[in-house]
Structure 1
């Protein structure tokens, strides 16, 4: 396979974030109502809803945060006024400084989980790869290809196509493999990874466990987001699971972490060059952080999917 790579400067996510508010009618058919959305900057959006005979009506609200608003979590309140009555609901909006290369294009080998597509759709062009794509498609249009959590268990077409994926890496691509369990992985013949890598049952259960950067200047911790101490704050449930216990010296260890009283685990992110490309295995519970909109989880995720040769 020939590899075609695009060099672009880091870009910011489009700060304009549309979201949809759905209203369920419990009054008589045809009842009209006014929906007032109170946004974090103090502005309001007013919409007249006419559900007609439908039980539900929805409206699309788009808000572009002012550049003066700092990253953080902000409330969004929706108030529905109808026939002299009102009710309200509240949700939160998370504003995070997450950078991705503007022309980044990613292929996703999805398993049973919806987290990766949901995380990518805000700012990254991506394609979900089906069986035909895996077995016969052209991978060279992708800057990175992602193997979803436990994808090798869920997708037999992925197992069959794995030699093609390793060839994609060899010719210059980046393959990022998210966590698997040991019995999904260890008995594969031929092995899934380009160099020996065995998983164990070890995990870091404390979501606030200290993290040490073993190679602070590595591109995975520098581009397009500089990963710092605060990026490991406010994680949920756990740091990672099914860490590798033995792996080839081709893999570079990026971070170290452990529960109190336990030996440090250094296989949370393993990085290797293979031919002209890059192979990354991570046992971090990033899917939990993406679901919970943890800013540091998104920033690290953006780094994993952004190849270093996109750096100008």
Structure 2
């Protein structure tokens, strides 16, 4: 295969190869900083009087809605905001995937790393519109033309079991889909999400379906299944005779319209470039009934959405009404006694789903009305297995109501305290925490095992309880036992890393558990050829525990050899790191291209460690830490290249320049429109990055020069762009437009 300046040859890598990323050298950054403005999302919530009043009113509402679609951004945030904030129903969005297969507007993360970003973006969106968030184990493997193909990748029974699990666990009164069960849905994933919703609507109620779930949950029959019809793109599926509701109202208690809430929620999808202006006028949503009796007056027709649906709930409803009528915004603590009566009355009810939900709501209101603040924090971002650290418990009661901290439990420790929290005085207690040698590292539960392209493999004794969760449970949780006005209550505090940034102030982020050493590879893909058979692999081995000494071994495929292996290292303190360099060589006689993994293993005191560390930081989401396998992809190519100098214009984030450098090209970034035509002429080719015409304003001024370069015989390669918000309309030497039509067929000859 030849590459020259007159030919553009596309090298198409498999799905798995596309997910290899260049790791960032993190040094001590993980230990000392966090650039995320939403790290404060980990901080214990403090409700103002309006928020308390909102939740007091919601305490009297017992309705649940599940919205279901395929990807992050598919959800109707206007409807979710209206149902959650307006009707005060507990509303959840079930996204079949985490958006792993899409493009990334804000960085170079792809595949499962992009899925992590979009998971956090969805959680940020739900924190704004008031919804909850669920997932299945389905993987967004890219665009699909049909439900048949999608179900083949996802595994029909596997993903259906996930949806049934969510329905049985969440127990929605109604289920709403975003898409229809046919080709009008466009994307095969969209189409499939509606099919699964319909099947799960029936299967969740059938005790003979997915019986293994019934040790934790009971069969559940929702009242109806609806399709939220739409009018966008090229399709209008709404009809005047469909049931419809107005959703564009204004909530004076929140000081926002539902359109404003929805826009803020949708604008959290920043990796997809979905920032939108608020829609503040009237809005109508349409629905087609798929199963169950069609609604006539409201979406939850036939469902009691108050305490009348619970035997013995009338007394509780009266107490809630009393609490709302007597609430004093300037003195929220005056509601504590009534709230304790409500909590006690709910606790006395027979066991049920709503009992657990409303007990938790009442307890949170008691803490909020007290102005009670409590947290459990460490001054280290990362704790390694086999180390000991101090956890600080803080608590302050800001009301004139007796609060006693009786005891706390942390990591199998039970500590008696019996301390009265005096009004307005900080209470602190330091508790030692030893991380066991076999403690699980911080790794998203769906990424712990290798997986095929279509779904994530989740197994183990707790796998069913993990499935549907957006993220892992906290590494450690401190449980406080309190007595408030004579009533025993418990408070769970996730252990977080708390620190102060000189610019942003106090920040919180999740505590990370790491292996004692990690191995990061500078170039996770290394390309060798007959022209360049010898390549260097640079690694960084880093300690997260004192006194880590051993050797690092590189195992390569049979087609390659390592010149010097088992390099020694000695790291005295946690945070120390050392660079180790390996020379690999492609063996002579390669006739076919190969692409295989080389794996690194560090041995310390007889124990083996084979994980790197990846830290993902963007300003709109919390810091994400994961520990991918320490491996590099070794590629052997029977390839010759002609032409050496390539200019690159940056796009939204990709690794193409690094890949071209691996092939031996010299890459020059173009960063100014002032570059002359004579300077452009020296390049054998010019390449624009992914989505460059969507996000790089440089191209508006540079495009005419690029077209002159092409006219003079130069090669201009333009990568993927979306068909909206382009910086120029003149993409080529002849008129054409970029459409949103999908033509991908990966199995074509």
TM-score under structure 1 length normalisation: 0.55
Against the structure 1 CA distance between its residues 76 and 95, is the aligned structure 2 distance closer, same or farther, given a 3 Å change threshold? same
Match of 1:49 in 2: 569
- Partner Cα distance (2:733, 2:565) in 1: 53
Shift of residue 68, structure 1, vs aligned partner: 3.5
The aligned runs of 1:92-111 (5 Å cut-off) are 92-97=632-637, 99-111=639-651
Match of 1:36 in 2: 553
Shift of residue 133, structure 1, vs aligned partner: 5.4
**Is 1:163–2:704 an aligned residue pair?**
yes
Q: Gaps spanning 5+ residues in structure 1: where?
A: 212-312
Aligned to 2:532, the other structure's residue is in SS state coil
| Contact 2:594-2:637 within 8 A present in 1 as well | no
Against the structure 1 CA distance between its residues 93 and 149, is the aligned structure 2 distance closer, same or farther, given a 3 Å change threshold? closer
Which entry has the higher C-alpha Rg, 1 or 2? 2
Shift of residue 117, structure 1, vs aligned partner: 1.3
- Partner Cα distance (1:133, 1:127) in 2: 15
Against the structure 1 CA distance between its residues 126 and 200, is the aligned structure 2 distance closer, same or farther, given a 3 Å change threshold? same
- Partner Cα distance (1:96, 1:179) in 2: 27
Match of 1:271 in 2: none
Shift of residue 100, structure 1, vs aligned partner: 4.4
* Cα-to-partner distance string for 1:65-85 (whole Å, 9 max, x where unaligned): 102455323332323222333
State the structure with bigger RCO (CA 8 A, min sep 6), 1 or 2.
Answer: 1
* Cα-to-partner distance string for 1:162-199 (whole Å, 9 max, x where unaligned): 111111112221111112222245x945x221101122
Shift of residue 205, structure 1, vs aligned partner: 4.5
Equivalent of 1:148 in 689, 696, 704:
689
The aligned runs of 1:69-218 (5 Å cut-off) are 70-88=592-610, 91-97=631-637, 99-122=639-662, 123-132=664-673, 134=675, 138-185=679-726, 188-189=728-729, 191-208=730-747, 210-211=748-749
Match of 1:60 in 2: 581
Match of 1:16 in 2: 534
- Partner Cα distance (1:119, 1:176) in 2: 15
| Contact 1:73-1:92 within 8 A present in 2 as well | no
Q: Gaps spanning 5+ residues in structure 2: where?
A: 7-528, 612-629
RMSD: 3.0
Shift of residue 127, structure 1, vs aligned partner: 0.5
* Cα-to-partner distance string for 1:55-112 (whole Å, 9 max, x where unaligned): 3323121201102455323332323222333334552534242534244210001112
Aligned to 1:17, the other structure's residue is in SS state strand
Alignment coverage as a number of residue pairs: 200
- Partner Cα distance (1:202, 1:152) in 2: 18
Shift of residue 35, structure 1, vs aligned partner: 1.3
Match of 1:27 in 2: 545
Aligned to 1:112, the other structure's residue is in SS state coil
Aligned to 1:50, the other structure's residue is in SS state strand
Shift of residue 140, structure 1, vs aligned partner: 1.3
- Partner Cα distance (1:33, 1:112) in 2: 40
TM-score under structure 2 length normalisation: 0.25
| Contact 1:20-1:60 within 8 A present in 2 as well | yes
- Partner Cα distance (1:111, 1:13) in 2: 30
- Partner Cα distance (2:554, 2:654) in 1: 28
Match of 1:233 in 2: none
- Partner Cα distance (1:132, 1:14) in 2: 35
- Partner Cα distance (1:103, 1:33) in 2: 44
Aligned to 2:698, the other structure's residue is in SS state helix
| Contact 1:135-1:157 within 8 A present in 2 as well | no
Against the structure 1 CA distance between its residues 13 and 109, is the aligned structure 2 distance closer, same or farther, given a 3 Å change threshold? farther
Question: Which has the larger strand fraction?
Answer: 1
Aligned to 2:699, the other structure's residue is in SS state helix
The aligned runs of 1:236-255 (5 Å cut-off) are none
* Cα-to-partner distance string for 1:10-58 (whole Å, 9 max, x where unaligned): x9652323223332324324x3211122222365612111234443323
Aligned to 1:117, the other structure's residue is in SS state helix
